[in-house]
Structure 1
Amino acid sequence: MNIGLLLDMAADGFGDRVVIGPQDSGITAAQLRSMADAGAEVIRAHSAEAVVYLAVNGPAFPVAMFAAARAGVPLVPVNYRLGSEQLDALLANHPSALGIADAEHVHILQRAGLATITPEQWMISAQTTEPTVDGGNDAAPEVPAVIIYTSGTTAAPKGVLLRNENLTSYVFGSVEFANAGEDQAALVSVPPYHIAAVANVISNLYAGRRTMVLEQFTPEQWLHTVRAEHITNALVVPTMLSRIVESDADKDIPSLRNLAYGGAPMPSRVIERALELWPQVGFVNAYGLTETSSTIAVLGPDDHRDALAGTDERIRARLGSVGRALPGVVIEIRDDDGALLGPDEVGRICVAGEQVSAEYAGIGRVTDEQGFFDTRDKGYLDADGFLFVGGRADDTIIRGAENIAPAEIEDVILRHPDVLDVAVVGVPDDEWGQRIEAAVVLRPGVEVDSESLRDHVRKALRSSKTPDRFVYWPEVPRTETGKLVRRHVVDRLVNLSEPASEPA
Structure 2
Amino acid sequence: MNVSMILDMAAEGFGDRIVIGRAQDGLTPVRLRELAVGGARVVRAAGADALVYLATNGPAFAVAQFAAAHAGVPLVPVNYRLGEEQLDALLANHPHALVIAAPDQDAAPRRAGLPVRSPADWLTEAAAHADGDTEPAPPTDAPAVLIYTSGTTSAPKGVVLRHHNLVSYVLGTVEFAAADHSESALMSVPPYHIAAVSNVLTNLYAGRRTLTLDQFTPEAWLALVREQRITHAMVVPTMLARIMDTDGLERSVPSMRSLAYGGARMPVRVIETALRSWPGVDFVNAYGLTETSSTISVLGPAEHRAAVASDDPVVRSRLGSAGLPVPGVEIEVRDVTGEPLDAGETGQIWVRGEQVSGEYAGQGSAVDERGYFHTRDRGRLDADGYLHIEGRTDDTIIRGAENIAPAEIEDVLLRHPDVLDAVVVGVPDEEWGQRIEAVVVPRDGAEVDAGALRAAVRGTLRGSKTPERITYWTELPRTVTGKLVRRDIVAALTAPEIGTKGQP
Structure 1 length-normalised TM: 0.98
8 Å CA contact 2:352–2:373 kept in 1: the answer is: yes
8 Å CA contact 2:34–2:134 kept in 1: the answer is: no
Other-structure match for 2:82: 82
Instruction: Give 1:450 shift.
Output: 1.3
**Structure 2: distance between partners of 1:83 and 1:154:** 17
8 Å CA contact 1:41–1:132 kept in 2: the answer is: no
Other-structure match for 1:328: 328
Other-structure match for 1:444: 444
Q: Secondary structure at the match of 1:19?
A: coil
Q: Secondary structure at the match of 2:438?
A: strand
Q: List per-residue Cα deviations over 1:172-196 (Å, max 9, x = no partner).
A: 0000000001000000000000000
8 Å CA contact 1:86–1:156 kept in 2: the answer is: no
Q: List per-residue Cα deviations over 1:118-147 (Å, max 9, x = no partner).
A: 00000111212145674202141x211100
Letter in 2 for 1:262: G
Give the paired residue count. Answer: 502
Letter in 1 for 2:227: A
Q: List per-residue Cα deviations over 1:83-105 (Å, max 9, x = no partner).
A: 21111111111100000000011
Other-structure match for 1:483: 483
Other-structure match for 1:381: 381
Q: Secondary structure at the match of 2:460?
A: coil
Q: Percent identity?
A: 62
Check 1:473–1:33 CA distance in 2 against 1; reply closer, same or farther (3 A cut). same
Letter in 2 for 1:17: R
Letter in 2 for 1:344: G
Other-structure match for 1:52: 52
8 Å CA contact 1:343–1:382 kept in 2: the answer is: yes
8 Å CA contact 1:469–1:499 kept in 2: the answer is: no
Other-structure match for 2:190: 191
Alignment of 1:106-185 (within 5 A): 106-130=106-130, 134-140=134-140, 142-185=141-184
8 Å CA contact 2:91–2:112 kept in 1: the answer is: yes
**Structure 2: distance between partners of 1:112 and 1:9:** 38
**Structure 2: distance between partners of 1:476 and 1:321:** 23
Range with greater deviation from structure 2 (289-298 or 240-249) = 240-249
Query: Which ranges in structure 1 are unaligned for 5 or more consecutive residues?
Result: none
8 Å CA contact 1:71–1:139 kept in 2: the answer is: no
Other-structure match for 2:399: 399
**Structure 2: distance between partners of 1:121 and 1:166:** 31
**Structure 2: distance between partners of 1:128 and 1:434:** 61
**Structure 2: distance between partners of 1:409 and 1:375:** 22
**Structure 2: distance between partners of 1:281 and 1:498:** 43
Alignment of 1:231-242 (within 5 A): 231-242=230-241
Letter in 2 for 1:467: P
Instruction: Give 1:459 shift.
Output: 2.0
Letter in 2 for 1:381: L
**Structure 2: distance between partners of 1:80 and 1:500:** 35
Structure 1 stretches of 4+ moved >3 Å: 130-134, 496-499
8 Å CA contact 1:15–1:30 kept in 2: the answer is: yes
Check 1:109–1:498 CA distance in 2 against 1; reply closer, same or farther (3 A cut). closer
Q: Secondary structure at the match of 1:21?
A: coil
8 Å CA contact 2:269–2:415 kept in 1: the answer is: yes
8 Å CA contact 2:73–2:144 kept in 1: the answer is: yes
Instruction: Give 1:267 shift.
Output: 0.5
Other-structure match for 2:243: 244
Letter in 1 for 2:136: G
**Structure 2: distance between partners of 1:240 and 1:499:** 28
Other-structure match for 2:276: 276
8 Å CA contact 1:333–1:347 kept in 2: the answer is: yes
Q: Secondary structure at the match of 1:20?
A: coil
Letter in 1 for 2:268: S
**Structure 2: distance between partners of 1:388 and 1:20:** 35
Instruction: Give 1:500 shift.
Output: 2.8
Other-structure match for 1:99: 99
Q: Secondary structure at the match of 2:19?
A: strand
Query: Which ranges in structure 2 are unaligned for 5 or more consecutive residues?
Result: none
Instruction: Give 1:449 shift.
Output: 2.2
Structure 2 length-normalised TM: 0.98
**Structure 1: distance between partners of 2:32 and 2:137:** 15
Other-structure match for 2:493: 493
Range with greater deviation from structure 2 (446-455 or 184-193) = 446-455
Letter in 1 for 2:379: G
Instruction: Give 1:423 shift.
Output: 1.1
Letter in 1 for 2:108: I
**Structure 1: distance between partners of 2:500 and 2:117:** 52
Check 1:79–1:382 CA distance in 2 against 1; reply closer, same or farther (3 A cut). same
Other-structure match for 2:423: 423
**Structure 1: distance between partners of 2:441 and 2:77:** 32
Say whether 1:67 aligns with 2:67.
Answer: yes
Instruction: Give 1:246 shift.
Output: 1.0
**Structure 2: distance between partners of 1:59 and 1:180:** 20
Check 1:130–1:183 CA distance in 2 against 1; reply closer, same or farther (3 A cut). closer
**Structure 1: distance between partners of 2:108 and 2:133:** 32
**Structure 2: distance between partners of 1:33 and 1:271:** 39
Letter in 1 for 2:89: A
Other-structure match for 2:37: 37
Letter in 1 for 2:487: R
**Structure 1: distance between partners of 2:5 and 2:70:** 10
Q: Secondary structure at the match of 1:2?
A: coil
8 Å CA contact 1:416–1:456 kept in 2: the answer is: no
Instruction: Give 1:496 shift.
Output: 4.6
Other-structure match for 2:467: 467
Instruction: Give 1:502 shift.
Output: 3.1
**Structure 2: distance between partners of 1:152 and 1:80:** 14
Q: List per-residue Cα deviations over 1:208-255 (Å, max 9, x = no partner).
A: 000010000000111111100000000000000000011221001110
8 Å CA contact 1:50–1:94 kept in 2: the answer is: yes
Say whether 1:212 aligns with 2:211.
Answer: yes
Other-structure match for 1:317: 317
**Structure 1: distance between partners of 2:137 and 2:142:** 12
8 Å CA contact 1:348–1:374 kept in 2: the answer is: yes
Alignment of 1:6-17 (within 5 A): 6-17=6-17
Q: List per-residue Cα deviations over 1:317-347 (Å, max 9, x = no partner).
A: 1001010000000000000100010100000
Check 1:119–1:253 CA distance in 2 against 1; reply closer, same or farther (3 A cut). same
